[in-house]
Amino acid sequence: MAVEGLSSPARFEAWFARLLAGDAVPLAPGLARAVAVHANNAMAAATAALASNFPVLLALMGEAAFADLAQRHARRCPPADPRLCLYGRGLDETLVQALPAGDWPWLPDMARLEQAVVGALFAADPPRRPRRLDPARCWPLAPATRWVWSAAPIASLWQAHQPGAAWPDEFPAAGELALISRRDGQCLITALPAAALPLLEALKRRTPLAQLPADGLPHLPAIAAAGALVPAVGDG
Amino acid sequence: MHGSLRAGLRPGRPLGAGIGLRMAHLAELASGSVTLPDGLWLEVHAENFMVAGGPRRAALLALAERHPISLHGVGLALAGTRMAPARHLKALRQLCDAVQPALLSDHLAWQLVGQPVGSWHVPDFLPFPRTAKALALIIGNVNRAQDALGRRLLIENPSHYGDVGGHAMAEHEFLAELALATGCGLLVDCNNIHVSAHNLGLDSGWLVDQLPAEAVGEIHVAGHRPDAMGQLLIDSHDAPVAAPVWALAARLLARTGPRPMLVERDAELPPLADLLAEAAQASALIACVHHGG
Q: What is the pLDDT of residues B159-199, one digit of tens each?
A: 999 999 999 999 999 999 999 999 999 999 999 999 999 99
A63 within some domain: yes
Whether B232 and A33 lie within 8 Å, measured CB to CB: yes
At residue B293, the pLDDT reads 57
**Residue from the list A8, A37, A143 with its beta carbon closest to the beta carbon of B232:** A37
CB contact B114 to A (< 8 Å): yes
Q: Which domain covers residue A215, as residue numbers?
A: 105-236
Q: Are A16 and B126 in contact (CB under 8 A)?
A: yes
Q: What is the pLDDT of residues B128-138, one digit of tens each?
A: 999 999 999 99
Percent of chain B at pLDDT > 90 equals 82
Same domain, A28 and A95: yes
Residues of chain A found within 8 Å of residue B232, distances taken between Cβ atoms: 33-34, 37
At residue A21, the pLDDT reads 86
Domain count, chain A: 2
Alpha helices in chain A (DSSP H): 9-20, 29-53, 55-61, 63-76, 91-98, 106-121, 154-160, 197-204, 220-225
CB < 8 Å from A in window 25-64 of B? 47-48, 50-58
At residue A235, the pLDDT reads 59
Average pLDDT of A30-53? Answer: 94
Cα distances (Å, whole numbers) of residue B275 to B38, B46, B279: 15, 20, 6
Residues of chain A found within 8 Å of residue B60, distances taken between Cβ atoms: none
**Residue of chain A with shortest Cα separation from B87:** A81
- Report whether pLDDT(B290) > 90: no
- Report whether pLDDT(A52) > 90: yes
CB contact B230 to A (< 8 Å): no
**Residue from the list A28, A30, A121 with its beta carbon closest to the beta carbon of B54:** A121
Q: Are B83 and B76 in contact (CB under 8 A)?
A: yes
At residue B292, the pLDDT reads 65
Residues of chain A found within 8 Å of residue B121, distances taken between Cβ atoms: 78-82
Q: Residue B274 — pLDDT band, cuts 50, 70, 90?
A: very high
Give the domain-ending residue among A77, A104, A131.
Answer: A104
Same domain, A225 and A170: yes
Percent of chain B at pLDDT > 70 equals 93
The CATH homologous superfamily for domain B30-290 is Divalent-metal-dependent TIM barrel enzymes (3.20.20.150)
Distance in Å, alpha carbon of A185 to nearest chain B alpha carbon: 5
Lowest mean pLDDT among A146-155, A175-184, A197-206, A225-234: A225-234
Average pLDDT of A208-215? Answer: 96
Same domain, A100 and A123: no
- Report whether pLDDT(B117) > 80: no
Whether B51 and A45 lie within 8 Å, measured CB to CB: no
Which of B78, B124, B196 best probes binding to A when mutated, by most A CB atoms within 10 angstroms? Answer: B124
- Report whether pLDDT(B82) > 60: yes
At residue A99, the pLDDT reads 86
At residue B28, the pLDDT reads 80
- Report whether pLDDT(A25) > 80: no
**Residue of chain A with shortest Cα separation from B82:** A10
Same domain, A119 and A156: yes
At residue B5, the pLDDT reads 42
Q: What is the pLDDT of residues A100-131, one digit of tens each?
A: 877 888 999 999 999 999 999 999 999 989 99
A70 within some domain: yes
At residue B3, the pLDDT reads 37
Percent of chain A at pLDDT > 90 equals 82
A57 within some domain: yes
- Report whether pLDDT(A3) > 90: no
Same domain, A93 and A166: no
Distance in Å, alpha carbon of B268 to nearest chain A alpha carbon: 13
At residue B6, the pLDDT reads 41
At residue B118, the pLDDT reads 58
- Report whether pLDDT(B31) > 50: yes
**Residue of chain A with shortest Cα separation from B56:** A122
Average pLDDT of B16-38? Answer: 87
Instruction: Collect all residues with Cβ–Cβ distance below 8 Å to B179 and sequence separation of at least 6.
Output: B155, B185, B186, B212, B215
Whether A10 and B81 lie within 8 Å, measured CB to CB: yes
Residues A214 and A205: their CA atoms lie apart, in Å, by 16
- Report whether pLDDT(B268) > 70: yes
Same domain, A84 and A19: yes
A3 within some domain: no
A1 within some domain: no
Same domain, A116 and A38: no
Q: What is the pLDDT of residues B192-243, one digit of tens each?
A: 999 999 999 999 999 999 999 999 999 999 999 999 989 999 999 999 999 9
Same domain, A150 and A226: yes
Query: How far does Cα B254 stand from its chain's mean position?
Result: 20
Q: What is the pLDDT of residues A178-197, one digit of tens each?
A: 999 999 989 999 999 999 99
Q: What is the pLDDT of residues A74-95, one digit of tens each?
A: 999 999 999 999 999 999 999 9
Cα distances (Å, whole numbers) of residue B190 to B126, B127, B216, B230: 18, 18, 12, 21
Residues of chain B found within 8 Å of residue A51, distances taken between Cβ atoms: none
CB contact B3 to A (< 8 Å): no
Residues of chain B found within 8 Å of residue A182, distances taken between Cβ atoms: 54-55
Whether A84 and B47 lie within 8 Å, measured CB to CB: yes
At residue B12, the pLDDT reads 58
Whether A18 and B116 lie within 8 Å, measured CB to CB: yes
Same domain, A133 and A55: no
Lowest mean pLDDT among A145-149, A199-203, A212-216, B2-6: B2-6
Distance in Å, alpha carbon of A217 to nearest chain B alpha carbon: 28
Same domain, A18 and A110: no
Across the A:B interface, residue pairs with CB atoms under 8 Å apart total 165
Question: Average pLDDT over chain B, rounded to whole?
Answer: 92
Same domain, A234 and A118: yes
Which of B135, B161, B266 best probes binding to A when mutated, by most A CB atoms within 10 angstroms? Answer: B161
Question: What are the domain boundaries of chain B?
Answer: 30-290
- Report whether pLDDT(B247) > 90: yes
